[in-house]
Structure 1
Amino acid sequence: MSRDRTVDALRAYAIGGVVLGHWLVTGLVLTGDGGLHQASPLTALPGLAPVTWVLQTLGLFFFTAGFGSARSLARHGGGPGGWLARRLRRLLLPTVALLGVGAAVLLAATVVGTPDDTLTVALRLAVSPLWFLVPLVFLVAMTGPVRAAVRRWGVARCVAPAVAVIAAADLAVRLLPNGTDLPPVTVVVAWSVPYLLGVAHADGRLDGRRAAGALAGGGAAALAALLALGYPVSAVGVPGDGVSNLSPPSLLAVALAVTQVGLGLLARPALERLVARPLPGRAVTEVNRSAVRIYLWHQPVLVAVTALTARSGLTLPGLHTVPDDLGWVLARCCWLPLLAAVLVTVARTAQPAGHLRRRRQPGGGGVAGRSAECVPSAPQVYDHRRSGPPDLQEVIAVRDSDPPSRGRADGQPR
């Protein structure tokens, strides 16, 4: 089963969209006492809301997760219990590492007298991305039943009940008094839709431009209809708005996910040509290799860079100032290369030593023919033109075809 480099490219775009989106909508304003408080440019600049349709890529995130999980399960030779345990280990170990390092850093920051506002923001931004663990762990565990359901009833019949549940939840949010909390079931149900599409695509469905066009066109039509019905334009939450499309995920979030999946499949020929080139192909490989670490560390990096530069006594535009005009957006864009450089350094530093040794040691078997979720288990020279990354992370989809006797102590999630 050969790698699907198009899915690799979609996975890289999904991770990049999450990181870039968070960095552009998270303003950290320096207060008079030297602390930081969070603000969003979308509050003062509602005209930027349509940009969130491009950067809110959680739908592609779960689509590639479903694809990778289904491919991995199909390749796995042992029981589903061992398969699931190894996948979850590769997902949870980097998360535990983040929490451990984060706790140590917060303790040190408290000892040196960091303002409480900064500590609160740092903790919230470091922990908030971990919400994905709940729906992802559940959906990965349900990959086998989901795959069987798709084969028996087809994609449309499997998606319809999820859409009905989300529609009912949306109606309840609008009818219930403000402040009434609904059970978080829609967090799992909403993201099960793109995950199911990924499972179906791995099973040979949704191939061809007709299926891709139907997803893209149907999703876009649903988006237009929902906006006409009064759904918020922004795909992410805006401070001060009573209703969010993301917390909990609404029908608009699902429609956006379906649209992105359809457009991604329509772009398959262009993506295949793109990843065949050395530089883009290597970039896709590197992002996939470090996907979990990039996802987990991008917000702590933003807080760290902002807090450390604040200690210089300077108020830097786009980093410490109020995000209330386009000038702030332009200034923040100028900071993106620095943030990216720090994130790359952190991601590489956090890579387990075993993976580094495998990358440095010459020789080893070929990797041709591995699937998009595969991670080689033996030292080898890596050629991005023949296969995918040797350390593809499970946050979005990773392989688990190694038998238990060859499990790695340093395994990572997708």
Structure 2
Amino acid sequence: MRNRYLDLLRFLAIVRVVVYHVTGLASLTLVFPAMSVMFALAGSLMAASLDRSGPAAVLRRLRRLLPSLWVLAAVFVPAMLLTGLPLTPRVLLWLFPVSDPPANSWGALALSPIWYLRDYLWFVFASPIALWLFRRAPLPTLLTPYVLLVVIESGIWPDAPGPFREFGLYFGAWMLGFAHHAGMLRRLANRVLVPAVLLLAAAGGAWILTHPGPRGFDLNDNHLGNALWSLAFILVVLGRGPSGAAWVDRNAVFGRVVTVLNRRALTIYLWHMPFVVGLTPLFDGVGWSHEDPRGLAIRVVLVFALVGVVTLAVGWVEDIAARRRPELLPGGRRTATRTGPPSSSTGNRVPAQRGAPESATAEVTAG
């Protein structure tokens, strides 16, 4: 059965990412730290898959992740080769981005969200060992990425490569997903969780205020502040969130939109930024300014509309990758509810959350 609360979180993250990239509003990163939330959800999904399939889950994740990337690459790599990108063996990284694939001047910005897939791949590869360690020493394993980030951000290792910073920031969130899958976050007593959330949010907020980046208080410019703030946020939304959200489907239209954005999360994530970059000169030329609320609203609507068109055109690749029947617009057919023990709907234990997210749709999103 689908966990509609996790679907709702993923839906909010997708919308937040697109709106942020269109508008550049730094406050959105504080209101909803979408990247960390999505890595946490993906970590929970990965733990569920490893429990079900063992190490074979790694190959299953790759199978679901890569085809949508290949569709994007089939369009943009030839375009970049024709506009100045040298043809070298590194172009093959567009097939399997374990490192940043090459791009030309315009492609580097339009295809910048590829970093997420790079990190996601490495997190998937690390998950079998990380989950084994997590179950034997949960707290030390969970804290290790954050300790690494502190070492880097405090200046002890100032020249650390960028991926190490992202590992310190986001693999901790990934392992919070392990803790969510195991029910540890829900089992935290309020006398532990509430002070921890307040302390983390206060420390993160203080670091953000005293270390503003080039875009002010944008979490994307502040790894340590981002990590602390996001950790507090995830403890709340996954540790004290509801076990489900059946109300999402009380409105058929809203429920369908949530389902579509979940089933097409990877396609939306990969394709929205090229439209943002490509349309920005047009927006500026006709006077739809970032300072004008009406102009911002028009930008957002147009980008979502164009992403919707490309999603209809190629989003069905996600169905094939997941071995589902291809659909132009997912969610039209109601899946029969499987009868079984009522544990999947209980509120204070996590068996409901352990199995449900796997069928809840795409594993990847956000930026």
Confirm or deny: 8 A CA contact 1:66 1:196 kept in the other structure.
Answer: yes
Structure 2 counterparts to residues 227-266 of structure 1, below 5 A: 227-229=205-207, 238=214, 246=220, 250-265=223-238
- Name which of 13, 18, 38 aligns with 1:61: 38
- Aligned pair 1:199/2:157, yes or no? no
| Matched residue count | 326
Equivalent position SS for 1:172: coil
Confirm or deny: 8 A CA contact 1:220 1:255 kept in the other structure.
Answer: no
**Structure 2 CA distance for partners of 1:330 and 1:297, relative to 1, 3 Å:** same
**Match of residue 12 from structure 1:** 11
**Match of residue 242 from structure 2:** 269
**1:257: how far off?**
1.7
Amino acid paired to 2:4: R
**Match of residue 88 from structure 2:** none
TM-score normalised per structure 2: 0.75
Amino acid paired to 2:135: R
- How far apart in 2 are the matches of 1:142 and 1:132? 15
Structure 2 counterparts to residues 78-117 of structure 1, below 5 A: 80=55, 82-106=56-80
Confirm or deny: 8 A CA contact 1:146 1:199 kept in the other structure.
Answer: no
**1:204: how far off?**
2.4
- Name which of 295, 302, 321 aligns with 1:331: 295
**1:358: how far off?**
4.2
RMSD: 3.6
**Match of residue 351 from structure 2:** none
Confirm or deny: 8 A CA contact 1:215 1:259 kept in the other structure.
Answer: no
**Structure 2 CA distance for partners of 1:99 and 1:228, relative to 1, 3 Å:** same
**Structure 2 CA distance for partners of 1:279 and 1:216, relative to 1, 3 Å:** farther
**Structure 2 CA distance for partners of 1:252 and 1:364, relative to 1, 3 Å:** closer
User: Higher helix share goes to which structure?
Assistant: 2
Confirm or deny: 8 A CA contact 2:113 2:270 kept in the other structure.
Answer: yes
**Match of residue 362 from structure 2:** 393
**1:265: how far off?**
2.7
Structure with larger Rg: 1
Equivalent position SS for 1:335: helix
**1:131: how far off?**
0.8
**Structure 2 CA distance for partners of 1:214 and 1:95, relative to 1, 3 Å:** farther
- How far apart in 1 are the matches of 2:109 and 2:34? 18
**1:139: how far off?**
1.5
Unaligned runs of 5+ in 1: 26-47, 111-118, 375-387, 398-414
- Name which of 98, 117, 130 aligns with 1:133: 117
- How far apart in 1 are the matches of 2:199 and 2:294? 32
- How far apart in 2 are the matches of 1:292 and 1:160? 29
Confirm or deny: 8 A CA contact 1:59 1:256 kept in the other structure.
Answer: no
- Name which of 269, 272, 280 aligns with 1:298: 272
Confirm or deny: 8 A CA contact 1:216 1:261 kept in the other structure.
Answer: no
For residues 176-196 of structure 1, the C-alpha deviation after alignment (integer angstroms, 9 at most, x for no partner) is 5xxx56463121122111110
Confirm or deny: 8 A CA contact 1:60 1:261 kept in the other structure.
Answer: yes
Percentage of matched positions with identical amino acids: 25
Equivalent position SS for 2:245: helix
Amino acid paired to 2:131: R
**1:350: how far off?**
0.9
For residues 345-382 of structure 1, the C-alpha deviation after alignment (integer angstroms, 9 at most, x for no partner) is 111211246759644899998464773222xxxxxxxx
**Match of residue 36 from structure 1:** none
Confirm or deny: 8 A CA contact 2:47 2:181 kept in the other structure.
Answer: yes
Structure 2 counterparts to residues 331-350 of structure 1, below 5 A: 331-350=295-314
- How far apart in 2 are the matches of 1:72 and 1:230? 36
- How far apart in 2 are the matches of 1:109 and 1:232? 42
TM-score normalised per structure 1: 0.67
- How far apart in 1 are the matches of 2:45 and 2:161? 31
- How far apart in 2 are the matches of 1:13 and 1:121? 31
- How far apart in 2 are the matches of 1:304 and 1:246? 22
